[in-house]
Amino acid sequence: MDRSKPSSKPSFWARHDFLIRRLHSLSGLVPVGGFMVVHLLANASVLESPAAFQKNVYSIHSLGSLLPVVEWTFIFIPILFHAIIGMVIVAGGMPNSNQYRYAANYRYTLQRATGMIAFVFIMVHVFHMHGWFHADFWLENVVKPFGGGQFKPFNAASTAGMALQNYVWVAFYIVGVLSCVYHLANGLWTMGITWGVWTSAKAQARASVVCSAFGLLLAVVSMGGLFGMRAVGSSQENLEQAIEAEDQMYKSKTESGEVAPNEHKRNNDEAQMTTQASPDRKGAGEE
Burial code (b: 16+ CB inside 10 Å, e: under 16) for 200-239 equals eeeebeebbeebeebbeebbebbbbbbbbbbbbbbebebb
On whether residue 243 sits in a domain, the answer given is yes
What integer pLDDT is reported at residue 63 of this predicted model? 84
Q: Is the peptide bond before 31 cis (omega within 30 degrees of 0)?
A: yes
H-assigned helices in 131-235 = 136-138, 156-163, 167-194, 201-232
What integer pLDDT is reported at residue 189 of this predicted model? 92
On whether residue 12 sits in a domain, the answer given is no
Between the two ends of the chain, the Cα-to-Cα distance in Å is: 62
What integer pLDDT is reported at residue 13 of this predicted model? 76
What integer pLDDT is reported at residue 6 of this predicted model? 55
What integer pLDDT is reported at residue 135 of this predicted model? 84
Three-state secondary-structure class, residue 234: coil
Give me the average pLDDT of each 10-residue run along the chain (287 residues). 60 81 90 95 96 94 87 93 90 54 71 94 96 88 92 95 96 98 94 88 92 98 97 94 95 88 81 52 43
The CATH number of the domain holding residue 36 is 1.20.1300.10
CA distance 52 to 243: 13
On whether residue 122 sits in a domain, the answer given is yes
Total number of domains in the chain: 1
Q: Range of 228's domain? A: 18-276
On whether residue 272 sits in a domain, the answer given is yes
On whether residue 236 sits in a domain, the answer given is yes
On whether residue 125 sits in a domain, the answer given is yes
On whether residue 72 sits in a domain, the answer given is yes
Contact 182, 95 (CB under 8 A): no
On whether residue 172 sits in a domain, the answer given is yes
